Amino acid sequence: MPLPPYAGSDHQIRLLQGAQELFPALIAEIDGARSDVQFETYIFDVAGDGAEVARALERAARRGVRVHLVVDGAGTGQVAEPWGSRLVQAGAQLQVYSPLGRLGLLLPRRWRRLHRKLCVVDGSVLFCGGINVLGDYEDPNWGRLAAPRLDFAVRVRGTLVAFASTVMERFWLRLLAMHDMRQRRLAQALADWRAVRLLQRAPRRTVGGRGMVAALLLRDNLRFRTRIERSYRRAIAQARKEIIIANAYFIPGGKLRRALVLAARRGVRVRLLVQGRYEYFMQYHAARPVYGALLAAGVEIHEYASSFLHAKVAVIDADGARPWATVGSSNLDPLSLLLAREANVMVRDAGFAQQLRSRLMAAIAQGSGALDPRTYASRPWRERLLDRVAWTVMRTALWLTGKNY
C-alpha cells in the first residue's frame, strides 16, 4: 500500500487508552513546553478531570509559551467560566470554530464540525486520537459513568509532527482571518490570508529512519475530503487474516460495507466492536439497518456494553507481513466521513498493531456481547421501526447537504 504524503519511518509512537493515560502524558509535555502549544478539540470540559489540562495550559501561558486553543462551537461553545477568563488573562489565545448562532444545527452548513483532537507541543510531539478534554467517568449528557469510557489516543514523535503543526497553524490563521473580516479589519485579514498561502507551500516529504512507519491522515472539506475513508478501504482490501474495527458510531457507506463483506467472503476474520449502549437516537438506531448484510457475510459484530464506546481505531493483520493500524477521531459514519474535520494517525508496525489488538481483544472478551444473527433478524417490530426512522432521517439529512453516501 503506498504511503500518504507527510509520512516517514522515523516515528516513536505510544498507545494511550483513555484520559487516565492521555492526560498525564499530555500535561507533562505541556508543562515542559518552551515555545508553543497548539491545541484543538471538540469538547473542552473543565468541570472534572479536564480542569487539570486547563491548568497546564494556564501555567504554560503564564510563563510566556504561545498557547493556541481551538474548540468546536457545538461540542464546547465558549469555554466555561471561570476558565475562559483565566486562560485569556494568562495569555492564552482562544478561538471557537463555527459558533452555532441563533438557529444552531437547524442550518445544514453548521453540521460541519471540528471533531479532531490534536495537540502539538514545541513542534516536536503530537497527540492525536478520539479522546476529548473530558474525564473517563464523565459524560455531558448521562452524568457520572460507572465504568470508564473506552477510547484511545497516541503520542507521536517523528516526521509527521511538523506536518501536523503546519496544518494546525494554517487552520488557526484561517480562523483569525475570518474573525478579522467579521470585525471589518480588512488589512489584518489580508495579512492572515497571505500567511496561510505561505504555509500551503510547505513541501511534502517522506523520510526514512529507524522507527515506526506512520502518517497523518486528515479529513476536511478542501484538500483531504476522502483520505481517511480511502485508507480504510485500501487496508481492508489488502487484509489477509484478520480485521478488527472499534468504532463508536458505525454507519459505513456502501463502498466500505462492500469492502468488509468481500473481506469476510474471502476468508478474512472480520470483527467489529460497536456501541452496545444507547447514547444518541440517531447514531444508535441508524446503525442497525447495516448489520444484516454484514452478519449474513460472516462478519462478527460485538456490542460494547461495559460503558460508552468512544474509540475510533482499527487493526489489520497484526501478526501478518503487512500490519496496519489507525487511531484517531474519525467515526465511520457520514458526519465524520463527509462533513467534519477529522484526524487519524496510521501506523504500519507489528509491535504497535499487536498492542492495539490486545487492548481490543480484551474489550471484546470482557466488555461486550456478540450479536447473534438470529436475534438480530427477530428483533421486535418497534425496534425495526425506530431503526428505519433513524436511517431515513439520516439519509434525508445527507440529501439536504448534497452528499452521496
Q: Residue 399: CB partners within 8 Å, gap ≥ 6?
A: none
Q: 45, 302, 312, 349: which one is catalytic?
A: 312
Last residue of a domain, one of 200, 233, 257: 200
Asked whether residue 379 is domain-assigned, the answer is: yes
19 plus 106 within the same structural domain = yes
What angle (nearest 5°) sits at the alpha carbon of residue 326, between those of residues 32 and 123?
A: 25
267 plus 181 within the same structural domain = no
Cα distance between residue 96 and residue 330, in whole Å: 20
Asked whether residue 206 is domain-assigned, the answer is: no
285 catalytic per annotation: no
What average pLDDT does this structure show over 101-128? 91
290 plus 168 within the same structural domain = no
278 plus 190 within the same structural domain = no
Would you tell me the crossing angle of helices 83-90 and 50-62 to the nearest 10 degrees? 20
245 plus 163 within the same structural domain = no
Q: Is the peptide bond before 203 cis (omega within 30 degrees of 0)?
A: no
Nearest to 189 by CA among 201, 180, 197: 180
Asked whether residue 1 is domain-assigned, the answer is: no
pLDDT score at 109: 82
150 plus 275 within the same structural domain = no
Last residue of a domain, one of 200, 232, 254: 200
241 catalytic per annotation: no
Asked whether residue 325 is domain-assigned, the answer is: yes
117 catalytic per annotation: yes
pLDDT tens for 145-190 read 999 999 999 999 998 999 899 999 999 998 987 766 666 566 665 6
pLDDT score at 101: 84
Phi, psi of 235 (to 5 degrees): -65, -40
pLDDT score at 176: 86
218 plus 180 within the same structural domain = no
Q: 11, 68, 115, 302: which one is catalytic?
A: 115
Q: 11, 45, 72, 117: which one is catalytic?
A: 117
Counting the structural domains of the chain, the total is 2
150 plus 230 within the same structural domain = no
What average pLDDT does this structure show over 243-261? 96
Nearest to 270 by CA among 230, 308, 299: 299
Last residue of a domain, one of 141, 165, 200: 200
pLDDT score at 398: 83
Asked whether residue 251 is domain-assigned, the answer is: yes
The answer to whether residues 33 and 112 touch, using CB atoms and an 8 Å cutoff, is no
Q: 11, 68, 285, 310: which one is catalytic?
A: 310
97 plus 242 within the same structural domain = no
All three cell numbers of 393? 432521517
What is the pLDDT confidence band of residue 341, given thresholds at 50, 70 and 90?
A: very high
Q: 72, 317, 349, 387: which one is catalytic?
A: 317
Does 366 have pLDDT greater than 60?
yes
Phi, psi of 47 (to 5 degrees): -80, -25
pLDDT tens for 328-337 read 999 999 999 9
187 plus 224 within the same structural domain = no
Q: What is the CATH number of the domain that holds 239?
A: 3.30.870.10
CA-based R_g, the chain, Å: 21
Distance of CA 252 to the CA centre of its chain: 15
Asked whether residue 2 is domain-assigned, the answer is: no
| Lowest-pLDDT choice from 4-13, 171-180, 188-197, 249-258 | 188-197
Host domain of residue 285: 214-401
236 plus 270 within the same structural domain = yes
What average pLDDT does this structure show over 191-213? 61
Q: Please list the residues that pair with 207 across neighbouring strands.
A: 8
Asked whether residue 103 is domain-assigned, the answer is: yes
Does 1 have pLDDT greater than 90?
no
Cα distance between residue 234 and residue 261, in whole Å: 14
139 plus 221 within the same structural domain = no
Q: 10, 31, 36, 122: which one is catalytic?
A: 122
Asked whether residue 116 is domain-assigned, the answer is: yes
